[in-house]
Amino acid sequence: MKKFVIIAFVAVAGLFSVNAKAQSKIAHINAQALVTAMPETAKAETELQTFAKSLEGDGKAMYDEYQKKLQEFNDKAASMTENVREIKGKDLQDIQKRIQDYSEASQQKIQDKQAQLLKPIYDKARKAIEDVAKEKGYGYVIDNSNGMLLVSPAGDDILAAVKTKMGIK
């Protein structure tokens, strides 16, 4: 009987210690608002826009060439032989294909550049969030920036603390 009481006491004590550990502090943050407030984000946006405009300039040159050849084709189509018209038509189709390929490649380059520019910003924000969570004893930090969190336990908003840690007003 004495062993049974000791075992029961140890089991109950174990349940209370597991329950105490499961009660982690929870916080939430709008990570998108944090990233938007960071000065590095504005610099990255400017650099990305400059990069996109340079690609757009090259694409515009190709489009202008296409427009010029199309106008020339339309103006002289009546006086061309069938064979020449077919060759010029294929040439226009080739230019259209190059414009489309260039546009797709440009979009991919812009996405790659954006990822390259934003990765260090996201890493810096994540590190600051982790540091604040550790300093304040939070076990979980939930990102509520996408608005998809329908139900959540009560928690503290640590956006102001993270901004202060990063020197952002």
pLDDT of residue 13: 52
- The yes-or-no verdict on residue 42 having pLDDT over 60 is yes
Domain ranges in the chain are 24-166
- Domain made up of 24-166: CATH architecture: 2-Layer Sandwich (3.30)
Chain mean pLDDT for the chain? 83
Query: Is the pTM for the entire model greater than 0.75?
Result: no
Report the alpha-carbon distance of residue 160 to residue 169 in Å, rounded. Answer: 9
Q: What is the DSSP letter of 145?
A: T
Structure confidence by residue, pLDDT tens digits, 91-113: 999 999 999 999 999 999 999 99
29-38, 102-111, 130-139, 145-154: which has the minimum mean pLDDT? 145-154
- The yes-or-no verdict on residue 74 having pLDDT over 60 is yes
Residue 154, both tokens = 């009560």
b vs e for 55-68, b when ≥16 Cβ sit within 10 Å of the residue's Cβ? beeeeeebbeebee
What would the DSSP string read from start to end of 55-71? HHHHHHHHHHHHHHHHH
CB 95 within 8 A of CB 62: yes
Can you tell me the mean pLDDT for 70-81? 86
